[in-house]
Amino acid sequence: MRIALAFLLLCYTIPLAAQFEKNYIPVVSTGPLPADFVTLSSQKYEKERSNLSKTEQKNIKAAKEQFILESNFGLDKILLSGNTLYNDPFGTYVNRVADKLLQHDTALRHQVRFYVIKSSVVNAFTTPQGAIFVTMGLLAQLENEAQLAFILSHEMVHYTEKHAIEKYVEAAKLDNGKNAYKNRNLNEQILSQCAFSKEQEKEADEKGLQLFLKSGYSTEHLMGVYDVLKYSFLPFDDITYDKSFLENEGLKFPEQFMLKTTLAIDTRDKEEDEESSHPSIKFRRQKTADSIMGRNNAGKSDYLVGQKEFEQARESARFEVCRLYLKAHRYESTIYSSYLLSRKYPDNIFLKKLVATALVGLGEHATEYTYKDVTYDSDSVQGKAQALFHLLDEVHTIKGDLPIVALAYVCGLRKSNPGDAAIEALYEQAMWTVVKKANVSYSFFRDSLPVVDTSTKVIAVPVVKDTMNELAISKYDKLRAQESVDQVVTGSGKDSARYIQYALLPFMGASLKKDFDRWDTLIDEKQRISLEGEVRKHKYYYKDRVVALGINKIVVVDPYYARINSKQKNSAYRYLESEAGQVDFAERIRNTARIAKLDCEVLNSKNLKEGDVATMNDITLLEEYMNDRLWQAEDIDVPFLDQEKVAALAQKYGTSKFMLTGALSVTERSNFKAFLITLTTICPAILPFTLPEMANGDHTTLYFSVVFDVKTDEVNYATFRTIQNRTKGYVLNAHLYDVFNQLKTAKN
C-alpha cells in the first residue's frame, strides 16, 4: 500500500514528459480487494432478490428476478475478468472526479463505485448494483475533466432511475407479447424497444446535465464530449505518418508504398436511426447546447481535481491503449498509436517493444498467409493512419518482406538495449520467422548501399497525353518502361537488388551471420503440442496423446465450470448451478490431486479474501498469458509481452507448470432421441441398446486441460474430451485423476 501511494505521489509530481520519456510501466491493481470482488454472485443475488416487492405481478416479478440474477453474475464476470482495475491511479482519479461531482449528494456518492476497465473501446456503462465502469479507451480520448464528469453524471442517472431493470422488464414484455407489444409484429416490437431505450438515454442526458450543472464544472468545453463519441472509432490523435518511423540506414521503403493522400475522415453527422438504442449524436448535441446556452461559467472550471492529474491519467491511458491493441492482436493499430506517442517520447522503450512485438506478429501472419485475418482493409481506414496501414499492406505482398522489416526493427532495438530479455525473445522469434519460415539466408542481404549506376539506360516513360496517344504505344513498351522506373526507384542499380535486401545493412557482420547460420542448421526444436490437432481429434479420445511428464507441483489457474441448458426457455446459461459447480470443481481438483500425490495449488477467483490482491493480479496475468497463447494458431508464435513477469511466477509458486482446466456441461434438444423412441416402439428388442442413448443423448460434458510451462513458454500437455453424459462427479474425478496421473508419473 505504501509503495502504491509513493508511486502515485511520484506520478503526480514528475512532469509528464520526464515521466514517460524512457519507459512506461503498466498499471496494476493494489490494496485490499473491494467488497464487490469477494462476495459470491449467488449471495449478492439472494440478498437483492429478498428486497423485491412480494405484491408485484407474477410475470413482472419473474422478469425482475431473472434480471437480478443475470445482472449480478454479469457484474462479477466483468469484475473478475482481470480487466477491472481497483485502487489504481486511474480509478483513484475517476473517483476523485466523482467526489467533486457529488459533493452535495453524499448519499448517492456512497451508493456508487467507479472502476476503470482495461478496454480500448470508447465507452462507459453502469450496472444496477451501482458499479460504474469507464474504459481506458474513453480516458485516452477525452479533452478535459469536465467531459469525464458529464459522462459520469449521465451514467449515474442510469443507476438512480433504474433504467437497466426497466429496460429488461420491457424486453420481457416484448418476448411475451404483453401490454403495448400485443398484436405487434417483430419489427414493430424491436422498434418499440429502441424507442424505449432512446427515451432512457434522453432522460440520462437531461438529468445528467442537471446533476453536472450543480457541480463546479464549467460547460465551456463540454460540447466536445459529443465529438469524443462521434469520432470514437479513430485513434486518439490524427498525425501524418512519417515513413522513416520503421526505416533505418539501409531500409528505405519505396515511395510508391506511401499514399499521396489518405482517406478523409467522414465528418457528417448521422441522421436519427430508428433501430439504434441511442438518439443520434446530432440530436443529443443540440439538446445539450440548448440547455446550457447562455449559462454563466463564472467561478467554474474544466478541472476541479486538476489539469495535471487529468493529463497524467489521459497520457497513461494512451500508453495502456497501445498495449490493449496489442493484446487484442490489432497490430496495425498498435503501431500507429505507439507512433503517435513516439512523437512525444521518442526514447520510450515500452512503445518500441510494442511496435517490435506487433511487427513480429504481422511477420508471422504474413508468412503463414493469415495476414488478412488480423488486419483491416487499408482502403477503408479513415484518417492519416491509413498511410501506415497501406504501407504494411504493400510490404506484406511479398512473402518474407514483413518478417525482415520486423527483424530489422528488432535488431535496432537490440543494439540500443543489449541484454533485455524481452527484446532477445523477440529477436529469436523474428530470426526464426525469417530463416525458417521465409527461407531467407544471410547471403540475401546486402552489406553496402548500392552504387548509383549512371550508365544504366533508363527507358523514358512515355508521356500519355490522351487516350489516343496511349493507344499508340504497345502494352509491352509501357510495361518495360514501368519496370525500368521501378528498378531505379527500388534502388536496384546493376545488381537489381530489392529495397528489402538492405534492411539489415546497419547490423551486417560476423555476429549476425553466426545467428543466421545457427538458425539455419537448427532442427525444429519448437515441437509444441498442436492444440488445434487435439481439438480436432477429440472425437477419437482413445487415440489421445498420453504423456508422463514427471511434474511434482502444478498451479491450477481459476478453474472453470459452466452449465448450459438450451432446453430452458428463459436462460440457457444456468448461473447458480455454474457458480456452485465452479466452487465444487475447484474442491474436486484439490482432492483428486491429493489422491494422485501431486502437489497442487488452486488460484480460484471464487473464493478470494480481502487481502488476496496478489492472487487476483496473478490470476489476471496468467489468464492474459494463457489466452494469448491459446489464441495463436498452430504455426503462429509471437512472444508474450510480459513474458518476464509470467516467468517470475514460477519462482513465486515453486513450479513452472500452470494449468488451465474446466468443464462445460451442456444439455440440448436432440431429434435423435425422438428417432430412437420411435425405433424402439417398432422393435422393442433393441431397447437395451437404445436405452442408454435415450437417457443421456441430450447431455454432453466437455472437459479440457492445458498445461503451460511459463519458463520455456511451451504447452506441455493439452487434452479436450467430450463425455457424452450429464456431468457426474465420479466421471469428472476419473478424468482429473487421469490428467494428474499423467503429469505426476515420470518416464522410466
Partner 1 sequence: MKKTLLLLFLLAVLVLPAQIPGYMGLKFGVKYECGLMHPIFVGRQGKLPMLYNNVSLEYVIGRAWTAGIKYGYMTYNAPPDKKVYNEDPYGNSVDYPTGRYEHKGRYNQHTIGVLFRKYVNGKGYLAPVGRYWTMGFYYQYAKNTIYTNLTDVENYSLKVYKGVSHLPGITLGMGRQYVIANRMLIDVGFNLNFTLYAVRHPVWYADRSAVFREVFGRNVFQVYLGLGALAF
Question: What residue type is 362 in one-letter code?
Answer: L
Cα–Cα distance, 513 to 720 (Å, whole number) = 43
Judged by CB under 8 A, the stretch of 485-493, 571-579, 589-597, 667-675 that binds partner 1 is 589-597
* Minimum gap (Å) between residue 178 Cβ and partner 1: 43
Burial of 747 (0-12, 13-18, 19+ CB in 10 A): exposed
Contacts of 429 (CB under 8 A, 6+ apart): 360, 364, 637, 638, 639
Burial of 85 (0-12, 13-18, 19+ CB in 10 A): buried
Classify 710 as helix, strand or coil: coil
Instruction: Out of 40, 547, 636, 694, point to the residue binding partner 1 (CB under 8 A).
Output: 547
Question: What residue type is 235 in one-letter code?
Answer: P
For helices 349-367 and 401-416, angle between their N-to-C axes, nearest 10 degrees:
160
CB 655, CB 553: distance < 8 Å: yes
CB 655, CB 555: distance < 8 Å: yes
Element (H, E) at 410: helix 401-416
Identify the sign of the CA torsion 415, 419, 421, 425: positive
Cβ distance to partner 1 smaller for residue 653 or 720: 720
Cα–Cα distance, 150 to 219 (Å, whole number) = 9
Burial of 282 (0-12, 13-18, 19+ CB in 10 A): middle
* Minimum gap (Å) between residue 131 Cβ and partner 1: 39
* Minimum gap (Å) between residue 599 Cβ and partner 1: 16
Instruction: Out of 510, 525, 542, 569, point to the residue binding partner 1 (CB under 8 A).
Output: 542
Q: Which residue has the cell 496489442?
A: 326
611 phi/psi in degrees, rounded to 5: -90, 5
Cβ distance to partner 1 smaller for residue 134 or 589: 589
* Minimum gap (Å) between residue 562 Cβ and partner 1: 17
Instruction: Out of 592, 604, 665, 680, point to the residue binding partner 1 (CB under 8 A).
Output: 592
Q: What is the DSSP letter of 235?
A: -
Cβ distance to partner 1 smaller for residue 286 or 725: 725
Per CB under 8 A, 679 contacts partner 1: no
Per CB under 8 A, 552 contacts partner 1: no
Instruction: Out of 541, 631, 672, 675, point to the residue binding partner 1 (CB under 8 A).
Output: 541
Q: Which residue has the cell 430452458?
A: 568
Judged by CB under 8 A, the stretch of 195-203, 253-261, 306-314, 540-548 that binds partner 1 is 540-548
Instruction: Give the CA angle between residues 72, 73, 74 to the nearest 5°.
Output: 90
x/- mask, partner 1, residues 204-243, rule CB under 8 A, reads ----------------------------------------
Cβ distance to partner 1 smaller for residue 429 or 701: 701
Element (H, E) at 132: strand 131-135
Cα–Cα distance, 157 to 147 (Å, whole number) = 16
Cα–Cα distance, 640 to 274 (Å, whole number) = 44
| Near partner 1 in 702-741, by CB under 8 A | 703, 721-725, 730-731, 733-735, 737-738, 741
* Minimum gap (Å) between residue 526 Cβ and partner 1: 24
Instruction: Out of 30, 701, 705, 719, point to the residue binding partner 1 (CB under 8 A).
Output: 701
CB 40, CB 545: distance < 8 Å: no
Cα–Cα distance, 333 to 350 (Å, whole number) = 16
Cβ distance to partner 1 smaller for residue 502 or 703: 703
Question: What residue type is 286 in one-letter code?
Answer: Q
* Minimum gap (Å) between residue 590 Cβ and partner 1: 14
Rg (CA), the chain: 30
Instruction: Out of 195, 459, 472, 548, point to the residue binding partner 1 (CB under 8 A).
Output: 548
* Minimum gap (Å) between residue 356 Cβ and partner 1: 41
Instruction: Out of 540, 569, 671, 682, point to the residue binding partner 1 (CB under 8 A).
Output: 540
- The count of residues interacting with partner 1 (CB under 8 A) is 33
* Minimum gap (Å) between residue 672 Cβ and partner 1: 14
Cβ distance to partner 1 smaller for residue 287 or 538: 538
Per CB under 8 A, 595 contacts partner 1: yes
In DSSP notation, 40-61 reads -HHHHHHHHHHTS-TTS-HHHH
Judged by CB under 8 A, the stretch of 88-96, 282-290, 552-560, 687-695 that binds partner 1 is 687-695
Instruction: Out of 1, 9, 546, 674, point to the residue binding partner 1 (CB under 8 A).
Output: 546
Cβ distance to partner 1 smaller for residue 196 or 737: 737
* Minimum gap (Å) between residue 707 Cβ and partner 1: 13
Instruction: Out of 125, 170, 689, 711, point to the residue binding partner 1 (CB under 8 A).
Output: 689
Instruction: Give the CA angle between residues 652, 654, 655 to the nearest 5°.
Output: 115
Cβ distance to partner 1 smaller for residue 283 or 737: 737
Cα–Cα distance, 237 to 100 (Å, whole number) = 29
723 phi/psi in degrees, rounded to 5: -105, 115
Per CB under 8 A, 747 contacts partner 1: yes
Cβ distance to partner 1 smaller for residue 406 or 554: 554
Cβ distance to partner 1 smaller for residue 84 or 742: 742
**Could you tell me the end-to-end alpha-carbon distance of the chain, in angstroms, rounded to an integer?**
49
* Minimum gap (Å) between residue 645 Cβ and partner 1: 32
Judged by CB under 8 A, the stretch of 195-203, 268-276, 355-363, 544-552 that binds partner 1 is 544-552
Q: State how far Cα 341 lies from the chain centre.
A: 20
Cβ distance to partner 1 smaller for residue 675 or 689: 689
Per CB under 8 A, 476 contacts partner 1: no
What are the residues binding partner 1 (CB under 8 A)? 539-542, 546-548, 592, 595-596, 688-689, 692, 701, 703, 721-725, 730-731, 733-735, 737-738, 741-742, 744-745, 747-748
